[in-house]
């Protein structure tokens, strides 16, 4: 029996590692909603939404946008306006139009409207933006962050200025965030697997060839920009309802760079990469935090070195860019392929999948032996 | 194979972290006796061992570090001092510090970590309201009292809830003091106001100042704005000079812009006295040099020239431990923030619970601190303190008067 079955190709293995275990973990978190670990998992979930939407534009369409924080801000503010009570808004943001002050919508609707507003802005600024390419496009999108920040800080009556919005209801729980994560990933997965998505990739790899094959580049770029902005807006809404207090300062360059960084770490050419990147970026600094506080190894007390985790992350990023430019996940869509395929779930009832799993394990040991000898 | 290895590695890390989380109060340290706490829900946390764990969140990296780092050092100094004196009612105090990284999300996560993993009974720290709201919401939900060392927006306790306390006076008090000093002591009748609109602190300060100055009968001739990080004030200066010099200038900027503002306005020929809030209790001389010694006034929390025993002791102890004098008033506030917590914990006796600490902070009356005398009531979590008006003389802030 000489086959080449690898463990990661076994449906059952995928089911256990990528679906059942994470799901159990989420349930474990959901049972202790206030704990620190739950907070981290929620943050990671929001970052997955943001990073996946950034990957659509940066990885698949080839336009390197840095303006995610701006779309986040729009989504965050608008969704917060829609869930805050009229009383609070009357005090904080008296300049809002009357209907918006009295509007109070369910969280899901507020998120979607926030996303749509971000998408609308993306369409409007899309026309000048898509005229630029490469670095110029990045700079233009960075400028968008500055514009949005200036509006937030200076339109006192509308946005409460730099004082920011406070007392936003806590609606981002494990359940709501991960429902949004799954929907977002599913939609994006379908998009990149559709002819629309293949068109995006074609445009990224060779715009001229794509155009000669009948792809309308401008339409494609603007729509892709808008889709990405929509999910960024939704992510921003989740963010606002998790932190409960937001201001222009929370959506500035650093936020954008954070998302770009996780996108690069995870791998920006796949959606699975965004998941890995977001998890990595949220979890690893937490492991480095004890180092900053002056770790005690045996009897040796290290001095506290605040900022160390940033330095280590930066060094890691540099090495990653040099030695593994495609990101940790590379070009494999392993995670989403397993999540959104019927086979993974049906494997539980198929005999041949159990056989494959056994084969996969056997192969693993064979390879190990080979490597040892 | 490599891919799968990385994936598994990531998963393993997530689970290792989960294990840490489940470990609860015994996570961070190897003090076996360290306060075994109940799961923090609704103020259920209590100290039963002989170590009292308190948390500190300070933004020691990022933009806020110039004010938060001294505050953290002073907080640590206070903890060392109380332990050297035998602790509180025979129990040692252990402070766990986390870096907020000048990021609201990190501050919130730090608060969660302190409460959940380290099992702290109370939290101190943070010198800016944006971060205070984020961390405060978490602490409030868990029922853990949180005392902000330097945050000055007076509505913090209203927004966060009854677990939040401030060490500093509110911006309203500071700005009103500036207005009163200008109007009553200096006799200024017209004033120019420059505001950094990118920070809630500076926007608030200007609004309160303008309100009070007009109330007193003064006139605000021109209000101008900029955004922190602009570094070039020529447009604002031109507008100011074009409208004509005023009796005084109220400059509402953060610590980072202070020296640049002074240098550019003074070099361009603006000679009116400048006054600002506690944000200017920073390095005014770095860029401006001697220009900063010309008619520059700062309304702040304390003055190093104060001869009271508390202040002099603090300065001496800080200098001895760190080799430099306290960098600014936020160090003094960090020190006081710790004193407030100690006082309340001491009043708990042997029944140290988060809720008891909270009520005991509310009961604090006339606690003499480096930045004034602090009292709270159940309805008022913002101490009513005097504002110290100082003048920049020969590279230092010299005490002028209390308001």
- A6 is a domain residue: no
pLDDT tens for A81-135 read 999 988 888 888 888 888 889 889 999 999 999 999 999 999 999 998 888 888 8
pLDDT tens for A328-352 read 988 888 888 889 988 888 888 888 8
- pLDDT score, position B7: 52
Q: How many domains are there within chain B?
A: 2
Higher pLDDT, B50 or A108: A108
- pLDDT score, position A12: 87
The answer on B108 and B44 residing in a single domain is: yes
pLDDT tens for B228-286 read 877 889 999 999 999 988 999 999 998 888 889 999 999 998 999 999 998 888 888 88
The answer on B155 and B125 residing in a single domain is: yes
- pLDDT score, position A69: 95
pLDDT exceeds 50 at position B66: yes
Tell me what the mean pLDDT of segment A52-71 comes to: 93
CB-based contact (8 Å) between B17 and chain A? yes
Chain A environment of B153 (Cβ under 8 Å): 163
- B355 is a domain residue: yes
- B269 is a domain residue: yes
**Nearest chain B CA: its distance from A213 CA (Å):** 35
Are B137 and A243 a contacting pair at CB < 8 A?
yes
- B381 is a domain residue: no
The answer on B177 and B156 residing in a single domain is: no
Spatial CB neighbours of B373, under 8 Å, sequence gap ≥ 6:
B366, B367, B385
- B268 is a domain residue: yes
- B333 is a domain residue: yes
Strand partners, B224: B194
Say which of B29, B113, B142 has its CB closest to residue A34: B142
Pairing of strands B367-369, B372-374: antiparallel
Q: Chain B: residue nearest A278 by CA? A: B10
- pLDDT score, position A302: 67
Q: Phi-psi bin for A344: left (phi > 0), alpha (psi -120 to 50), beta?
A: alpha
Q: Give the A:B interface size as CB pairs under 8 Å.
A: 147
Q: DSSP assignment of A93-147, as one string?
A: -TTS-HHHHH----HHHHHHHHHHHHHHHHHHHHHHHTT--HHHHHHHHHHHHHH
The answer on B350 and B296 residing in a single domain is: no
The answer on B71 and B144 residing in a single domain is: yes
Pairing of strands A296-297, A300-301: antiparallel
**Nearest chain A CA: its distance from B8 CA (Å):** 8
- What percent of chain B stands above pLDDT 70? 89
Are A250 and B130 a contacting pair at CB < 8 A?
yes
The answer on B256 and B149 residing in a single domain is: no
- pLDDT score, position A287: 84
Spatial CB neighbours of A117, under 8 Å, sequence gap ≥ 6:
A74, A75, A78, A233
CB-based contact (8 Å) between B113 and chain A? yes
- A339 is a domain residue: no
Cα torsion for A55, A59, A63, A68, to the nearest 10°? 20
Q: Chain B: residue nearest A252 by CA? A: B103
- A321 is a domain residue: no
Residue A290 tokens, joined:
């004890």
Residue B381: pLDDT band (50, 70, 90) is very high
- pLDDT score, position B317: 93
Using the structure block, give the residue that is written with the tokens 């480096």: B370
pTM of the model: 0.83
- B20 is a domain residue: no
pLDDT exceeds 80 at position B287: yes
- pLDDT score, position A74: 96
pLDDT exceeds 90 at position B4: no
Chain A environment of B113 (Cβ under 8 Å): 36, 286, 289
Chain B environment of A161 (Cβ under 8 Å): 197, 200, 203
For residue A151, the enclosing domain spans: 35-251
pLDDT exceeds 90 at position B128: no
- A92 is a domain residue: yes
Q: What is the DSSP letter of A303?
A: P
pLDDT exceeds 60 at position B25: no
Work out the mean pLDDT of chain B and round it to a whole number. Answer: 85
- B31 is a domain residue: no
A53 neighbors A188 (Cβ within 8 angstroms): yes
Q: Which of residues 316-335 of B touch A (CB under 8 A)?
A: none
CB-based contact (8 Å) between B4 and chain A? yes
Is residue A214 packed enough to be buried (19+ CB in 10 Å), middle (13-18) or exposed (0-12)?
A: exposed
- B208 is a domain residue: yes
CB-based contact (8 Å) between B191 and chain A? no
- pLDDT score, position B44: 54
CA distances from A4 to A242, A260, A289, A373 (A): 46, 37, 42, 19
Are B98 and A276 a contacting pair at CB < 8 A?
no
Select from A238, A251, A245 the least CA-distant residue to B159.
A245
Residue B40: pLDDT band (50, 70, 90) is very low
- pLDDT score, position B61: 87
The answer on B110 and B206 residing in a single domain is: no
- pLDDT score, position B2: 52
Lowest average pLDDT, out of B10-24, B61-75, B346-360, goes to: B10-24
pLDDT exceeds 80 at position B394: yes
Tell me what the mean pLDDT of segment A285-293 comes to: 80
The answer on B152 and B209 residing in a single domain is: no
The total of other beta-carbon atoms located within 10 Å of residue A61's CB is 24
Phi, psi of B402 (to 5 degrees): -105, 140
Q: Which of residues 34-53 of B touch A (CB under 8 A)?
A: 39-41
Chain B environment of A32 (Cβ under 8 Å): 39
**Nearest chain B CA: its distance from A177 CA (Å):** 16
B240 neighbors B222 (Cβ within 8 angstroms): yes
- pLDDT score, position B32: 36
Are A8 and B3 a contacting pair at CB < 8 A?
yes
For residue B291, the enclosing domain spans: 171-300
CATH assignment at residue B226: 3.40.50.2300
A39 neighbors A282 (Cβ within 8 angstroms): no
The answer on B315 and B211 residing in a single domain is: no
Are B105 and A283 a contacting pair at CB < 8 A?
no
Tell me what the mean pLDDT of segment A195-216 comes to: 92
CB-based contact (8 Å) between B137 and chain A? yes
CB-based contact (8 Å) between B21 and chain A? yes
- A50 is a domain residue: yes
Boundary (domain end) residue, out of B249, B280, B300: B300
Which ranges in A165-206 belong to alpha helices (H)?
A: 174-193, 195-205
The answer on B344 and B260 residing in a single domain is: no
- A53 is a domain residue: yes
Tell me what the mean pLDDT of segment A170-180 comes to: 93
The answer on B314 and B354 residing in a single domain is: yes
pLDDT tens for A251-269 read 999 899 999 999 999 998 9
The answer on B118 and B194 residing in a single domain is: no
pLDDT tens for B133-142 read 989 999 998 9
- A302 is a domain residue: no
pLDDT tens for B304-322 read 878 888 999 999 999 999 9
CB-based contact (8 Å) between B162 and chain A? no
CA distance A204 to A199: 9
3-state secondary structure chain B: CHHHHHHHHHHHHHHHHHHHHHHHHHCCCCCCCCCCCCCCCCCCCECCCCEEEEEEEECCCCCCHHHHHHHHHHHHHHHHHHHHCCCECCEEEEEEEEECCCCHHHHHHHHHHHHHCCCCCEEEECCCHHHHHHHHHHHHHHCCCEEECCCCCCCHHHHHCCCEEECCCCHHHHHHHHHHHHHHHCCCCEEEEEEECCCHHHHHHHHHHHHHHHHHCCEEEEEEEECCCCCCCHHHHHHHHHHCCCCEEEEECCHHHHHHHHHHHHHCCCCCCEEECHHHCCCCHHHHHHHHHCCEEEEECCCCCCCCHHHHHHHHHHHHHHCCCCCCHHHHHHHHHHHHHHHHHHHCCCCCEHHHHHHHHHCCCCEEECCEEECCCCCCCCCCCCCEEEEEECCEEEEEEEC
Is residue B240 packed enough to be buried (19+ CB in 10 Å), middle (13-18) or exposed (0-12)?
A: buried
CB-based contact (8 Å) between A211 and chain B? no
Residue B203 tokens, joined:
């926007």
Residue A159: pLDDT band (50, 70, 90) is confident
pLDDT tens for B158-215 read 888 899 999 999 999 999 999 999 999 989 999 999 999 888 889 889 999 999 999 9
Using the structure block, give the residue that is written with the tokens 């002074």: B262
The total of other beta-carbon atoms located within 10 Å of residue B313's CB is 12
Are A245 and B130 a contacting pair at CB < 8 A?
yes
Are B61 and A307 a contacting pair at CB < 8 A?
yes
- pLDDT score, position B73: 93
- pLDDT score, position A299: 63
Q: How many domains are there within chain A?
A: 1
Say which of B3, B116, B225 has its CB closest to residue A329: B3
């Amino acid at each position: 029996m000489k086959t080449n079955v690898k463990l990661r190709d076994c449906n059952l293995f995928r089911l256990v590692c990528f679906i059942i275990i994470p799901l159990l973990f989420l349930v474990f978190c959901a049972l202790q909603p206030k704990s620190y670990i739950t907070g981290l998992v929620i943050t990671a979930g929001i970052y997955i939404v943001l990073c996946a939407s950034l990957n659509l534009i940066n990885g698949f369409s080839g336009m390197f946008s840095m303006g995610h924080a701006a779309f986040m801000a729009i989504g965050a503010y608008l969704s917060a306006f829609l869930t805050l009570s009229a009383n609070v808004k009357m005090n904080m943001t008296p300049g809002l139009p009357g209907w918006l002050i009295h509007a109070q919508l369910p969280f899901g609707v507020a998120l979607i409207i926030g996303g749509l507003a971000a998408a609308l802005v993306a369409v409007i600024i899309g026309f000048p933006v898509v005229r630029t390419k490469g670095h110029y496009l990045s700079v233009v999108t960075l400028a968008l962050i500055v514009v949005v920040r200036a509006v937030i800080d200076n339109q006192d009556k509308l946005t409460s200025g730099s004082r920011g919005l406070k007392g936003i209801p806590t609606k981002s729980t494990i359940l709501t965030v991960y429902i949004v994560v799954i929907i977002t990933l599913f939609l994006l997965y379908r998009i990149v697997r559709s002819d629309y998505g293949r068109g995006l990739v074609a445009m990224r790899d060779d715009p001229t060839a794509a155009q000669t094959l009948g792809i309308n580049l401008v339409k494609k770029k603007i729509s892709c920009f808008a889709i990405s902005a929509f999910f960024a807006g939704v992510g921003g809404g989740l963010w606002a309802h998790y932190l409960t207090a937001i201001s222009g300062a929370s959506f500035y360059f650093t936020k954008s760079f954070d998302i770009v960084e996780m996108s690069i770490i995870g791998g920006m050419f796949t959606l699975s990469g965004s998941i890995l990147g977001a998890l990595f970026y949220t979890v690893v600094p937490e492991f480095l935090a004890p180092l900053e506080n002056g770790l005690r190894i045996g009897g040796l007390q290290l001095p506290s070195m605040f900022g160390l985790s940033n330095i280590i992350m930066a060094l890691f990023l540099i090495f990653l860019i040099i030695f593994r430019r495609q990101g940790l996940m590379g070009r494999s869509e392993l995670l989403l392929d397993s999540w959104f395929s019927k086979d993974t779930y049906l494997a539980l009832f198929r005999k041949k999948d159990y056989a494959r799993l056994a084969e996969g394990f056997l192969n693993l040991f064979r390879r190990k032996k080979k490597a040892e000898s | 194979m490599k891919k799968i290895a990385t994936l598994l590695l990531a998963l393993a890390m997530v689970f290792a972290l989960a294990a840490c989380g489940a470990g609860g109060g015994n996570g961070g340290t190897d003090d076996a006796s360290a306060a075994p706490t109940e799961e923090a829900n609704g103020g259920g946390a209590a100290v039963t061992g002989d170590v009292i764990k308190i948390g500190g969140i300070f933004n020691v990296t990022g933009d806020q570090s110039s004010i938060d780092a001294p505050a953290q050092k002073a907080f640590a100094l206070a903890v060392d001092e109380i332990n050297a004196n035998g602790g509180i009612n025979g129990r040692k105090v252990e402070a766990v510090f986390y870096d907020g990284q000048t990021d609201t999300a990190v501050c919130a996560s730090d608060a969660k970590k302190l409460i959940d993993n380290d099992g702290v009974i109370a939290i101190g720290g943070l010198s800016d309201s944006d971060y205070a709201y984020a961390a405060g919401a978490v602490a409030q939900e868990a029922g853990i009292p949180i005392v902000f060392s330097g945050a000055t927006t007076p509505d913090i306790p209203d927004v966060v809830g009854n677990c939040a306390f401030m060490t500093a006076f509110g911006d309203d008090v500071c700005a009103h003091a500036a207005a009163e000093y200008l109007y009553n002591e200096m006799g200024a009748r017209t004033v120019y106001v420059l505001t950094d609109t990118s920070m809630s602190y500076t926007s608030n300060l200007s609004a309160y100042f303008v309100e009070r100055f007009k109330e007193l009968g003064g006139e605000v001739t021109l209000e101008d704005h900029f955004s922190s990080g602009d570094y070039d004030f020529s447009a604002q200066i031109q507008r100011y000079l074009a409208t004509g010099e005023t009796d005084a200038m109220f400059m509402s900027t953060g610590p980072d812009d202070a020296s640049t503002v002074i240098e550019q306005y003074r070099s361009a020929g603006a000679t009116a006295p400048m006054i600002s809030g506690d944000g200017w209790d920073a390095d005014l001389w770095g860029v401006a040099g001697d220009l900063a010694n010309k008619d520059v006034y700062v309304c702040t929390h304390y003055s190093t020239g104060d001869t009271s025993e508390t202040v002099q002791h603090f300065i001496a102890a800080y200098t001895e431990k760190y080799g430099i004098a306290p960098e600014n008033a936020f160090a003094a506030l960090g020190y006081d923030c710790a004193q407030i917590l100690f006082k309340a914990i001491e009043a708990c006796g042997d029944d140290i619970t988060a809720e008891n600490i909270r009520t005991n902070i509310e009961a604090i009356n006339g606690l003499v601190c480096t930045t004034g005398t602090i009292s709270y009531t159940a309805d008022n979590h913002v101490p009513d303190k005097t504002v110290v008006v100082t003048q920049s003389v020969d590279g230092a802030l010299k005490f002028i008067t209390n308001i």
